[in-house]
């Protein structure tokens, strides 16, 4: 298998309180350098809680935000200018909020035509044929094309969003919380559709979500982000069953699961570190029962864990089955 | 807090600078020879040249600007030729009269406008709301100068309750009761439009806030309705209302020009109109810069009030 | 089309439209009407009163016919006012859109300039411009348009910034559209309603301003007259001949009032928020309009709901958000109410204490009994005294539900002091105590901070502390952890569970998450399209759901630890509650549905603990009448 998408030391820093002619008041490292390969045809799940940088990472990957450092390679070709039109043909984005990602004053046909016209310079006949083809593959009726976005339910609008992403004919799709605005009964419809399309069209997915169970159900591999840092990377079937990073362990034991008694894994109230004043070492150290002196000094590197398939950024990775919470 | 005020004052410096540039550039667009306008068409060329030199008009534009700015910073706004008096003296005299008028109106419009808006919102679609909405519509549709004229006809001419015009207390003529007597009609006429605008915006701000989740929380806690409206909701609505008051101050100052004409109020607005008609450029320049600067300072005060009210604004 | 319908349905706007139509018709017809020449003086006939000497409105100080001058003046005033508005709107909007779309330095530079212009009281700038260009109507027009550009620019910029950050603009960029194309096809169509609103609500103002400049003698110059200069000229004769002032003054008033009415109508018709009736004030308590007698409670408990019905009435439509819901909760018990969005679970919860926003919400029937007292339709004072004291709420989004301008401690103190007359100091001590009980570290310090200075989890702890403030018997928690991250959710759920065991609280817990229900609740009620479709002890329902909807919903939810797999989906969508089908609302999506499912009313049946609203339940339930012959399933596991 070849590498579809390669990130090398990709990072994003936001400047807070910009001032003319002077240094900004502070810098927030929304995404700390991430190095990651996405194999062709796989679904890489990215999980993390709010403020972990997962949406910023997604916007970097489609060129909506210029990276502060690092580079993105798609099928071996470097993409270093943040030009969405350049990215658009290779990598597309499916948005979280299906309704607000559609212009309320455009018909669905107009929405669908934009990528065909601007990215592929197709003529009218070719566009119509292509739209019919895509609509058939996402199970949407063609009569929808003349309607406006407010006439659709969330699930239908999300299918339209997926159809638009497909129209650009990109091989890689970034799915940014594509089902979190949907009800569970509709969520499953969309997830199954995504799965089918991937097989049929040979797509590669980056699936971003805060919902561990959804990510586990759809992904081949999963990356866990905490406070802008990639803390663990491993196969979907292993990562929550046998987490190696204490934060992954905490996530896995916090998720409400039928048949498991209610516990507060941490036993106390905790918070994320202050982004304006981040700790020098591992960002999770303050919440981690295994933290030692070294954890508070320098951030650990993402490395393969002994005796496992996962990689973890931790000085004291857990052994399989080790219990530290609850 | 002190730091925040200082920061706002410092940030006003470029704005004040910009104001002087804008005023200077507009005035520099005036066609023709200002000296000729001053001396009249019978002036000899020598006299015109001399006056131009005295006024610094033989210098290039940028130099003239900095000379003018430098003079102003030392308090020298030049001399008004039509009044033969230092501009600054005239402006200060006249501005204090305008301040009394506009200040009174602003206070009136804030009190009545906010109260009417809150009552209107709290009794939405009730009788009070409809009455207030109609009054507001009338208020924002009537030209203040026409309203002033009608007030004169009714209160001064027909009922002889109040004086038509002739406010001289500022120049040491009358005492406080005399001033108030002269102030009632113009201040009311001036306040009407602004009250309408404030009432309208307060109403919609209140309606917006009353639907917020935190109002439901207050009700769920069992907070009495009066306190929900006049406490929780109004407090939050003030965040939108206070900046409106800042903008209204500008409208009241503007409206004062008409009212001063109608009631012969010896304010800065009437002075400016007279100066324009007489082409007394230095007086126009000085007056505009002075009033605009005061307005900028007033808006800083509004910002400070806002930051006291809203802890989310970083001080 | 719907825009004009909406406009005409608004009676005031319609009146404004008619008046404006008349004025415009008169003004257009002016050149062909048999009028005196407007500018011909006739000093012998000066100051004629109306109807004297064939002059319908009399004459002015130079003996000119007032009617003729009025109509010609109106023409001029309207033309100037409207042109000024169009100019200001066009340039202001262009500047605002560019600044708002590009942001960054472009925005900074443009907006600093706009700020500079707005630093003048507007008339000063207008006066300065007129001073420079010289008095005259065209110059007055330029001045009025110029001073209004910054207002439009700032307004439109704000709207544009909001739109430029919408996801569909990002989508357009990813579709390869150029900046110009995005501005023209994505931004402008969405900004135009705002421009129209801003213009229609300011045209009246512009007419007043140009009239004002003319009034001062800086606008139209003699002998030409607009309404303002007519008024200005008449001023000297105000006391002796008031009719010369009244005529133009009243005309301005009529025109501006008509335009303002029309403008408000346009705004209301174009503003979607107003259209949906969102800007109506909710009453202190939900409106109760019973359509039948008060039902007698069947169950017993701390809080007992019987046949609760709540509707939303929007225009002609009636949304039956809650239909015949009966629930009860015993002391120390936690009842879960689970359902998807639109199932009526939150409306049920809010109806109990009359907190459903009304309008549009109306409770049309049912009973809610707390401690022997009927809450539905109870007088406001009674309801208020129970709210927060006996029955308290915890809401979903703790940032929106706490007042942004009061400190956390003050909000807790208020919760205590509205029900108990204690001193501020006592209340504060109690508030800090409450913060400690919800395990907030450094409670003394945290009491003094504002909600925005806390994290989501901490804010929700404050929400819980507020609910506990008066030691209520019942807590209604409306999706309290939905907005929180999973690790924080675990903390909050554990806290709620501890508190309920310590204090013997009854909790009604509204959620859409089976995992949460399984861990926290003793019993569960499943809602679909406003009705309870199944209820029973949590474990029994989860292990062996009787209603096909419950069973399939549980199958939809992926659970952690089951690995990569295909999910079971329910085809179709929940029905809209304003067009509920007869029979079972789930029947169109149900693979077990028979013709009988789609007729009449299907009752919630069963024994004391478990009940189901289904003719062909998935499992046998004690106490149910045997259904009409068990029918084999028709098809299995239909996909999306």
A107 lies within 8 A of chain C by CB: no
pLDDT digits (tens, 9 = 90+) for C538-551: 999 999 999 999 99
φ, ψ of residue C363 in degrees (nearest 5): -90, 120
Q: What is the average per-residue pLDDT within C237-257?
A: 91
- The lowest-confidence range among A87-96, A251-260, C331-340 is A251-260
Which of A62, A114, A237 lies nearest to residue C177, judging by beta carbons?
A: A114
C402 with B311: Cβ contact below 8 A: no
Which two tokens mark C483? 């907005």
Residues 206-245 on C with a CB inside 8 Å of B are 208, 211-212, 215-218, 228, 231, 235, 238-239, 242, 245
Q: What is the pLDDT averaged over residues C374-382?
A: 94
pLDDT of residue C625: 64
Report chain B's terminal Cα–Cα distance, integer Å: 6
For residue A192, give the nearest of C167, C186, C566 by CB distance.
Answer: C566
Given this model, what pLDDT does residue C627 score? 53
Mean pLDDT for A142-167 is 91
Is residue C630 scored above 50 in pLDDT?
Answer: no
Over residues B85-92, the mean pLDDT reads 91
C-beta of residue A44 within 8 angstroms of C-beta of residue A3? no
Find chain B residues with C-beta within 8 A of C212's C-beta: 143, 145, 257-258
Residue contact C128–B26, C-beta within 8 A:
yes
Residue A238 touches partner C, C-beta closer than 8 Å: no
Q: What is the mean pLDDT of residues C441-447?
A: 90
A263 or C378, greater pLDDT: C378
Yes or no, beta carbons of B251 and C121 under 8 Å apart: yes
Contact B60, B229 (CB under 8 A): no
**Spatial separation of the C-alpha atoms in residues C325 and C338, rounded to whole Å:** 13
Round the average pLDDT of chain B to a whole number and report it. 87
DSSP letters for A227-290: TTEEEEEEEHHHHTTS--SHHHHHHHHHS--TTS----TTSS---PPPTTS--SS-TTGGG-TT
Going along chain C from its start, the domains and CATH numbers come out as 3-30+70-274 (1.10.3720.10), 397-471 (no CATH)
Q: What are C422's two structure tokens?
A: 């204690």
Give per-residue pLDDT as tens, B195-227.
999 999 999 899 989 989 999 999 999 999 999
Mean pLDDT of C214-239: 89
Judging contacts by C-beta atoms under 8 Å, the chain C residues touching residue B29 are 132-133
Residues facing B167 on adjacent strands: none
Check if the beta carbon of residue A235 is closer than 8 Å to that of residue A211: no
Q: Provide the mean pLDDT of chain C.
A: 89
Q: Which domains does chain B have, with CATH numbers?
A: 88-314 (1.10.3720.10)
Measured between beta carbons, the chain C residues lying within 8 angstroms of A104 are 190
State the first-to-last Cα distance of chain C, in angstroms, to the nearest integer: 37
Locate the chain C residue with the closest alpha carbon to A139.
C640
The dihedral over CA atoms of B118, B123, B129, B132, expressed in degrees to the nearest 10, equals: -30
d(CA A160, CA B98): 62
Contact criterion met (CB below 8 Å) for C359 and C547: no
Picking from C486, C497, C542, the nearest residue to A210 by CB comes out as C486
Give how far C614 is from chain A: nearest CA, Å. 19
Which of these ranges, B278-287, C130-139, C557-566, has the smallest mean pLDDT?
C557-566
Between positions 468 and 487 of C, the ones with CB within 8 A of B are 469
Question: In which region does residue B220 sit, left (phi positive, over 0), alpha (psi from -120 to 50) or beta (all else)?
Answer: alpha
Predicted TM-score (pTM) of the model is: 0.87
pLDDT at C638: 39
pLDDT of res. B111: 96
One DSSP character per residue, C193-241 reads HHHHHHHHHHHHHHHHHHHHHHHTTSSS-TTS--HHHHHHHHGGGTTT-
Whether the bond between B240 and the residue before it is cis, its omega within 30 degrees of 0, is no
- Separation between Cα atoms, residue A284 and residue A312, nearest integer Å: 13
Which residue of B31, B150, B210 is in closest CB contact with C282?
A: B210
Residue B116 CA from chain centroid, whole number: 22
**Between A115, A187, A191, which is nearest C175 by CB?**
A115
CA dist A301 and A282 (Å) reads 10
- Mean pLDDT in residue range B250-267: 91
Contact between C387 and B211 using a beta-carbon 8 Å cutoff: no
pLDDT tens profile C86-99: 999 999 999 999 99
Per mean pLDDT, which range of B115-124, B271-280, C425-434, C563-572 is the poorest? C563-572
Q: Chain C residues with CB inside 8 Å of B210's CB?
A: 281-282
Of residues C615, C611, C620, C612, the one with CA closest to residue C599: C615
B154-170 pLDDT, tens digit per residue, is: 988 888 878 776 665 55
Q: pLDDT, tens digit, for every residue of C298-356?
A: 888 999 999 999 999 887 889 999 999 999 999 999 999 999 888 999 999 999 999 99
- Nearest chain C alpha carbon to B312: C452
Touching A (3+ Cβ pairs <8 A), the chains are C
* Integer angstrom CA distances of residue A244 from A18, A224, A247, A273, C604: 39, 11, 9, 21, 49
**Residue A289 to residue A250: CA distance in whole angstroms:** 11
Q: pLDDT tens-digit profile of A184-193? A: 888 899 999 9
Name the residue with higher pLDDT: C596 or A268: C596
For residue C191, give how far its alpha carbon lies from the nearest alpha carbon of chain B (Å).
21
Give the confidence band of B241 by pLDDT, cuts at 50, 70, 90: very high
- Contact at 8 Å (CB) between A192 and C567? yes
Q: Nearest-CA residue of chain A relative to C561?
A: A241
Measured CA to CA in angstroms, residue C150 lies from B20, C110, C122, C191 at distances of: 18, 10, 10, 17
Chain C residue with minimum CA distance to A18: C104
Q: How far apart, in Å, are the Cα atoms of A206 and each of A137, A172, A222?
A: 20, 8, 10
Give yes or no for a contact between C431 and C413, defined as CB atoms under 8 angstroms apart.
yes
Please tell me the distance in Å from A9's CA to the nearest CA on chain C. Answer: 24
Using DSSP bridges, classify how beta strands C611-612 and C605-606 pair: parallel, antiparallel or unpaired. antiparallel
Q: Are strands C506-511 and C334-338 parallel, antiparallel or unpaired?
A: parallel
A60-64, B144-148, C217-221 — which one is most confidently predicted on average?
B144-148
**Residue for token pair 């017809």:** C29
Task: Report residue C358 as tokens.
Answer: 């009304």
For residue A229, give both structure tokens: 């840092």
Residue A276 buriedness (CB in 10 A; 0-12 / 13-18 / 19+): exposed
* Nearest-angstrom CA–CA distance, A162 and B81: 74
Are C388 and B222 a contacting pair at CB < 8 A?
yes
CA-to-CA dists, residue B213 to A8, B34, C476, angstroms: 44, 62, 16
The answer to whether A121 faces chain C, any CB pair under 8 Å, is no
What gap in Å lies between CA B303 and CA C3, rounded to an integer?
39
Q: Are strands C373-374 and C361-370 parallel, antiparallel or unpaired?
A: antiparallel
> pLDDT band at residue B31, thresholds of 50, 70 and 90?
low
Inter-residue contact B172 to B142 (CB < 8 Å): no
CA A307 – CA A302 distance, rounded (Å): 15
Beta strands A69-74 and A3-16 are antiparallel
Q: What is the DSSP letter of A19?
A: B
For C439, residues 6+ apart whose C-beta sits below 8 A from its C-beta are A268, A269, C461, C495
Give the pLDDT score at C60. 86
Q: Do C170 and A101 touch (CB under 8 A)?
A: yes
Measured CA to CA in angstroms, residue C430 lies from C75, C394, C437 at distances of 70, 19, 10
Across A129-133, B162-166, C125-129, C603-607, the highest mean pLDDT is recorded for A129-133
pLDDT of res. C393? 96
Contact present, C15 and C261 (Cβ < 8 Å):
yes
Residue B53 or A183, more confident = A183
Q: What local confidence, expressed as pLDDT, does residue C636 receive?
A: 40
Comparing CA positions, the residue from C596, C595, C600, C604 lying closest to residue C624 is C604
Cβ-Cβ contacts under 8 Å for C171 (sequence gap 6 or more): A93, A95, A101, A102, A111, A161, A164
Tally the residues of chain B: 315
**Ranges A104-118, B76-90, C594-608, most confident:** A104-118
The continuous run of DSSP H or E covering A84 comes out as: helix A84-88
Cα gap C339→C374, rounded to integer Å: 26
The reply to whether residue B312 touches residue C120, judged by beta carbons under 8 angstroms, is: no
Is the pLDDT reported for residue A107 higher than 60? Answer: yes
pLDDT digit string (tens) for C458-500? 999 999 999 999 999 999 999 999 888 888 898 899 999 999 9
Give yes or no for a cis peptide into C223 (omega within 30° of 0). yes
| Closest C-alpha among C351, C316, C355 to residue C337 | C351
Q: Read out DSSP for B116-132?
A: HHHHHHHTTTSHHHHHH
* Secondary-structure percent of chain C, ordered helix, strand, coil, rounded to 5: 50, 15, 35
């Amino acid at each position: 298998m070849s590498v579809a998408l390669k990130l090398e030391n990709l990072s994003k820093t936001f400047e807070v309180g910009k001032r003319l002619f002077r240094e900004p008041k502070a810098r927030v490292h929304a995404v700390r350098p991430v190095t990651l390969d996405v194999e062709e045809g796989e679904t890489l799940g990215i999980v993390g809680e709010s403020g972990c940088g997962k949406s910023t990472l997604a916007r970097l990957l489609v060129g909506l935000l210029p990276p502060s450092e690092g580079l993105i390679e798609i099928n071996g070709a470097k993409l270093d200018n943040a030009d969405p039109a350049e990215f658009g043909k290779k990598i597309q984005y499916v948005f979280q909020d299906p309704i607000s990602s559609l212009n309320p004053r455009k018909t669905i046909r107009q929405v669908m035509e934009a990528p065909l016209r601007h990215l592929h310079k197709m003529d009218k006949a070719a566009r119509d044929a292509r739209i019919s083809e895509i609509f058939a593959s996402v199970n949407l009726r063609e009569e929808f094309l003349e309607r406006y976005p407010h006439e659709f339910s969330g699930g239908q609008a999300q299918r339209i969003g997926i159809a638009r992403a497909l129209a650009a004919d990109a091989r890689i799709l970034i799915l940014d919380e594509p089902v979190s605005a949907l009800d569970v009964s509709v969520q499953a419809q969309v997830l199954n559709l995504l799965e089918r399309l991937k097989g049929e069209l040979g797509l590669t997915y980056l699936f971003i979500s805060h919902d561990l169970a959804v990510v586990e159900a759809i992904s081949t591999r999963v990356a866990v982000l905490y406070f802008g840092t990639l803390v663990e990377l491993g196969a979907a079937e292993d990562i929550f069953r046998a987490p190696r990073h204490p934060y992954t362990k905490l996530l896995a034991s916090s998720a409400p699961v039928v048949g498991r008694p209610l516990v507060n894994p941490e036993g106390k109230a905790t918070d994320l570190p202050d982004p304006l004043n981040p700790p020098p070492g591992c960002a999770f150290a303050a919440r981690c029962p295994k933290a030692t002196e070294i954890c508070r000094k320098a951030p650990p590197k993402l490395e393969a864990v002994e005796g496992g398939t996962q990689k973890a950024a931790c000085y004291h990775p857990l052994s399989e089955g080790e219990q530290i919470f609850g | 807090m002190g730091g925040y005020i200082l920061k706002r004052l410092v940030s006003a410096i470029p704005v004040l600078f910009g104001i002087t540039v804008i005023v200077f550039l507009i005035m520099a667009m005036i066609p023709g020879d200002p000296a000729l306008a001053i001396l009249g068409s019978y002036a000899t060329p020598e006299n015109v040249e001399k006056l131009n030199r005295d006024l610094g008009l033989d210098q290039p534009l940028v130099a003239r600007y900095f000379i003018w700015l430098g003079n102003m910073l030392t308090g020298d706004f030049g001399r008004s030729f039509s009044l033969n008096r230092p501009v600054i003296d005239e402006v200060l005299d006249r501005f204090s009269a305008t301040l009394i008028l506009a200040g009174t109106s602003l206070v009136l419009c804030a009190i009545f406008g906010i109260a009417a808006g809150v009552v209107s919102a709290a009794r939405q679609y009730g009788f009070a709301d409809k009455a207030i909405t109609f009054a507001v519509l009338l208020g924002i549709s009537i030209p203040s100068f026409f309203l002033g004229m009608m007030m004169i006809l009714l209160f001064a001419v027909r009922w002889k309750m109040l004086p038509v015009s002739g406010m001289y207390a500022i120049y040491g003529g009358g005492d406080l009761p005399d001033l108030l007597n002269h102030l009632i009609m113009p201040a009311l006429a001036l306040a009407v439009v602004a009250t309408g605008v404030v009432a309208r915006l307060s109403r919609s701000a209140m309606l917006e806030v009353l639907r917020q989740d935190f109002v439901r929380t207050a009700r769920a806690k069992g907070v009495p309705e009066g306190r929900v409206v006049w406490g929780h909701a109004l407090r939050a609505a003030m965040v939108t209302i206070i900046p409106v008051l800042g903008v209204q101050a500008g409208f009241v100052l503007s409206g004062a020009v008409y009212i001063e004409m109608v009631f012969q109020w010896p304010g800065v607005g009437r002075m400016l109109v007279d100066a324009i008609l007489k082409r007394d450029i230095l007086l126009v320049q000085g007056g505009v810069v002075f009033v605009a600067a005061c307005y900028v300072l007033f808006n800083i005060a509004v910002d400070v009030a806002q930051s006291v009210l809203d802890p989310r604004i970083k001080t | 089309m719907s825009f004009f319908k909406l406009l005409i349905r608004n009676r005031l706007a319609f009146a404004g439209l008619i008046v404006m139509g008349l004025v415009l018709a008169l003004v257009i017809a002016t050149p062909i009407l048999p009028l005196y020449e407007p500018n011909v003086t006739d000093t012998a006939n000066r100051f004629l009163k109306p109807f004297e000497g064939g002059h319908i409105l009399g004459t002015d100080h130079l003996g000119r016919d007032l009617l003729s001058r009025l109509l010609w003046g109106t023409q001029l005033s309207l033309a100037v006012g409207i042109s000024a508005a169009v100019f200001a709107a066009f340039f202001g909007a262009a500047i605002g859109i560019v600044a708002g779309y590009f942001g960054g330095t472009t925005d900074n530079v443009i907006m600093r300039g706009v700020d500079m212009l707005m630093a003048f009281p507007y008339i000063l700038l207008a006066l300065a411009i007129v001073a420079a260009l010289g008095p005259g109507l065209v110059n007055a027009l330029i001045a009025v348009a110029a001073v209004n550009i910054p207002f439009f620019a700032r307004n439109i910029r704000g709207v544009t910034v909001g739109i430029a950050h919408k996801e569909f603009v990002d989508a357009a960029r990813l579709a390869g559209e150029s900046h110009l194309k995005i501005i023209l096809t994505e931004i402008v169509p969405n900004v135009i309603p705002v421009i129209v609103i801003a213009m229609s609500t300011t045209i009246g103002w512009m007419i007043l301003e140009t009239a004002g400049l003319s009034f001062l003698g800086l606008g139209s110059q003699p002998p030409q007259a607009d309404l303002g200069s007519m008024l200005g000229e008449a001023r000297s004769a105000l006391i002796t001949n008031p009719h010369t002032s009244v005529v133009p003054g009243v005309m301005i008033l009529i025109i501006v009032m008509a335009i303002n009415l029309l403008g408000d109508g346009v705004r209301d018709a174009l503003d979607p928020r107003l259209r949906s009736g969102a800007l109506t004030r909710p009453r202190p308590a939900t409106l109760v309009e019973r359509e039948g007698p008060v039902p007698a409670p069947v169950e017993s408990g701390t809080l007992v709901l019987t046949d609760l019905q709540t509707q939303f009435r929007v225009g002609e439509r009636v949304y039956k958000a809650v239909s015949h819901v009966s629930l009860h909760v015993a002391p120390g018990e936690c009842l879960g109410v689970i359902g998807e969005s639109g199932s009526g679970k939150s409306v049920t919860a809010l109806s109990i204490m009359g907190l459903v926003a009304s309008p549009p919400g109306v409770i049309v029937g049912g009973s809610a009994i707390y401690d022997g007292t009927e809450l539905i339709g109870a007088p406001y004072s009674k309801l208020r005294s129970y709210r927060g004291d006996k029955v308290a709420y915890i809401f979903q989004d703790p940032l929106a539900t706490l007042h942004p301008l009061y400190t956390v401690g003050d909000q807790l103190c208020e919760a205590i002091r509205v029900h108990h007359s204690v001193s501020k100091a006592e209340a504060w001590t109690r508030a800090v105590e409450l913060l400690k009980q919800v395990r907030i570290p450094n409670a003394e310090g945290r009491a003094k901070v504002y909600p925005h200075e806390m994290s989501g989890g901490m804010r929700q702890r404050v929400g819980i502390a507020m609910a506990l403030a008066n030691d209520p018997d019942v807590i209604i928690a409306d999706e309290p952890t939905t907005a929180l991250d999973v690790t924080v959710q675990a903390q909050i759920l554990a806290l709620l569970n501890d508190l309920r065991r310590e204090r013997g609280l009854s909790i009604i817990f509204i959620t859409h998450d089976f995992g949460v229900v399984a861990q926290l609740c003793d019993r569960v009620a499943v809602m679909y399209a406003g009705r309870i479709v199944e209820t029973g002890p949590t474990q029994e329902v989860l292990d062996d759901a009787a209603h096909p909807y419950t069973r399939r919903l549980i199958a939809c939810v992926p659970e952690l630890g089951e690995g990569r797999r295909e999910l079971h989906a329910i085809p179709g969508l929940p029905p809209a509650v304003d067009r509920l089908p007869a029979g079972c609302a789930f029947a169109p999506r149900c693979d077990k549905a028979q013709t009988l499912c789609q007729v009449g009313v299907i009752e919630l049946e069963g024994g004391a603990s478990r009940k189901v609203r289904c003719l062909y339940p998935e499992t046998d339930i004690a106490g149910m009448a045997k259904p009409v012959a068990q029918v084999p399933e028709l098809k299995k596991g239909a996909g999306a």
